């Protein structure tokens, strides 16, 4: 029996920045709450240290993440580490310029201005605030930039810091916090929904493995309601429909999964599995041309895919193609995976002893073949999703402990 490629966790990892943003936002919120207390208990200090270590680890790891760098900059400012805060704010400003995000750029410049002000470097604070106001004069950080400009203009050339300046800068920092940015809140919501969707996906896999395809389908639909853009969910729904022998519904879900993977620039095992599985179903539906196109797409992704060669051989055979091309594909599949395809190659040799056959000649699909493919995909996805969730929980534990 033919083997089937299994999806990988490549799309399950795409939410790393969302999760990092949500975790950094949580850490900054803890830092703000505790730093504003008139007195800190031993437990407060423990939480503060854990939050500081967590946000520092995230800022170090996600240096190309604009929201994480902005949150890390604000956290450093809250903790009095102004040099680190300025460095992160300037890194965020550079990322905002690259991404053509004037609002985030203005927010980063305001944070940098606050850091310079807290260090007593008011000329630099003035310059950063002035640039923020020039770039985004009507944006959400314009009031904070104006406050900094007023503060720096009021103090003139006075040496040192006047009474109340630190308090005013702290107030400006709170007002300009990236926690007030709705995009940061959205990242937290997306991360929460993605994690919940992955947990439901894992549960759906388990139900399918236990012989409950209807329960698996219902659970997957709940996951899609939370995160409709995750292609693995549509792949899993296709697997459930395959188990229920609803080929048309399965093909519809495979279309969605493949389109989503392709839109994200996917070139790995997940997209390969999508094309190979759809080729299988199209062949079963006697759509030999569609099966041929999918197998060719799969070979474009992985030129040494035994499954794709096997699928292309069957599609060519169904189209009444030349015997030498059909047999060459069967042979290559057998060479790459003898255990799965050697018998199919021998059977093809027997069928073509007297020359190529018409389109109706390919054998009728085995009744268990599509169902077997569903179970194979489910088992593979279940292990992948479980591993992904385990890695995420371990990472969260490490961040929480400050490791």
Same domain, 181 and 196: no
Asked if residue 1 is part of any domain, the answer here is no
Q: Do 177 and 270 have their domain in common?
A: no
- The total number of structural domains in the chain stands at 2
Provide the 8-state DSSP code for 285: T
Of 270, 277, 220, 272, which Cα lies nearest the Cα of 254?
277
According to DSSP, residue 180 is labeled G
Q: Cα(284)–Cα(278) distance, rounded to whole angstroms? A: 10
Query: Using CA atoms, how far apart are residues 41 and 60, in angstroms rounded to an integer?
Result: 28
> What is the span of the domain harbouring residue 289?
192-393
Positions in the chain short of pLDDT 70: 1-15, 155-165, 266-267, 354-403
Q: Which stretches within 176-268 are classed as H helix?
A: 182-209, 213-226, 231-243, 247-263
Please tell me the distance from the alpha carbon of residue 337 to that of residue 369, in angstroms, as a whole number. 18
User: Could you tell me the CATH number of the domain that includes residue 163?
Assistant: 1.25.40.10
Q: How many residues does the chain have?
A: 403
**What is the DSSP code string of 4-68?**
-----STTTTTTHHHHHHHHHHHHHHHHHHHHTSSS--HHHHHHHHHHHHHHHHHHHH-TT-HHH
Same domain, 245 and 320: yes
165 and 180 co-located in one domain: yes
Q: Which pLDDT tens digit goes with each residue over 182-221?
A: 877 777 778 778 878 888 998 998 898 888 999 999 999 9
Distance CA 18, CA 331 (A): 46
> Is residue 289 in a domain?
yes
Contacts of 98 (CB under 8 A, 6+ apart): none
Q: Per the confidence metrics, is the pTM higher than 0.75?
A: no
Examine residue 402 and state whether it is found in any structural domain, yes or no: no
- Any domain includes 225: yes
pLDDT at 234: 93
Contact in structure between 207 and 244 (CB atoms under 8 Å): no
Read off the pLDDT of residues 307-318 as tens digits, 9 standing for 90 and up.
Answer: 999 999 999 999
Contact 110, 148 (CB under 8 A): yes
For residues 139 and 231, membership in a common domain is answered with no
Given 163, 185, 207, the domain boundary residue is 185
Residue 384: CA atoms inside 13 Å, Cβ hemisphere, count? 20
Q: Which of 158, 185, 212 is the last residue of a domain?
A: 185
What is the Cα–Cα distance from 183 to 70, expressed in whole angstroms? 12
Structure token digits, residue 264: 């994200």
Contacts of 386 (CB under 8 A, 6+ apart): 202
In the chain the first and final C-alpha atoms are separated, in Å, by 48
Nearest to 30 by CA among 57, 51, 55: 51
Q: Which residues contact 33 (CB under 8 A, 6 or more apart)?
A: none
Of the residues 135, 167, 185, the one at which a domain ends: 185
The answer on 48 and 179 residing in a single domain is yes
Any domain includes 5: no
Q: What is the model's pLDDT at position 23?
A: 86
């Amino acid at each position: 029996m033919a083997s089937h490629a299994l999806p990988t966790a490549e799309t399950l990892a795409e939410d790393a920045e969302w999760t990092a943003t949500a975790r950094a936002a949580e850490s900054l919120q803890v830092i703000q709450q505790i730093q504003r207390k008139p007195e800190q208990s031993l437990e407060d200090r423990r939480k503060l240290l854990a939050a500081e270590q967590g946000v520092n680890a995230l800022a170090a790891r996600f240096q190309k993440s604009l929201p994480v760098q902005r949150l890390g900059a604000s956290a450093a400012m809250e903790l009095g580490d102004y040099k680190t805060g300025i460095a992160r704010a300037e890194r965020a400003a550079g990322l905002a310029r690259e991404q053509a995000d004037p609002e985030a750029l203005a927010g980063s410049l305001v944070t940098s201005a606050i850091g310079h002000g807290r260090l007593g470097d008011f000329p630099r604070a003035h310059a950063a605030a002035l640039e923020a106001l020039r770039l985004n004069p009507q944006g959400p950080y314009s009031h904070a930039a104006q406050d900094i400009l007023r503060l720096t203009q009021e103090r003139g050339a006075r040496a040192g810091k006047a009474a109340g300046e630190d308090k005013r800068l702290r107030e400006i920092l709170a007002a300009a916090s990236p926690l007030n940015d709705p995009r940061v809140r959205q990242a937290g919501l997306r991360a929460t929904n993605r994690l919940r969707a992955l947990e439901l996906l894992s549960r759906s896999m388990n139900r399918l493995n236990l012989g409950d395809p209807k329960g698996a389908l219902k659970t997957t639909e709940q996951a899609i309601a939370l995160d409709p853009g995750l292609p693995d969910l549509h792949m899993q729904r296709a697997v459930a429909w395959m188990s229920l022998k609803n080929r048309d519904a399965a093909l519809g879900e495979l279309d969605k999964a493949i389109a989503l993977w392709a839109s994200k620039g996917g070139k790995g095992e997940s997209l390969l599995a999508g094309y190979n599985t759809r080729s299988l179903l199209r062949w079963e539906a006697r759509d030999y041309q569609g099966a041929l196109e999918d197998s060719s797409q799969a070979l474009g992704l992985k030129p040494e895919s035994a499954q794709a060669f096997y699928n292309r051989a069957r599609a060519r055979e169904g189209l009444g193609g030349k015997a030498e091309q059909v047999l060459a594909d069967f042979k290559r599949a057998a060479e790459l995976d003898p255990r799965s395809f050697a018998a199919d190659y021998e059977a093809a040799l027997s069928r073509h002893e007297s020359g190529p056959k018409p389109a109706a000649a390919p054998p009728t699909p085995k009744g268990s073949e599509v169902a077997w493919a569903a179970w194979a995909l489910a088992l593979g996805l279940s292990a992948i999703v479980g591993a992904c969730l385990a890695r995420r929980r371990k990472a969260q534990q490490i961040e929480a402990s400050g490791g």
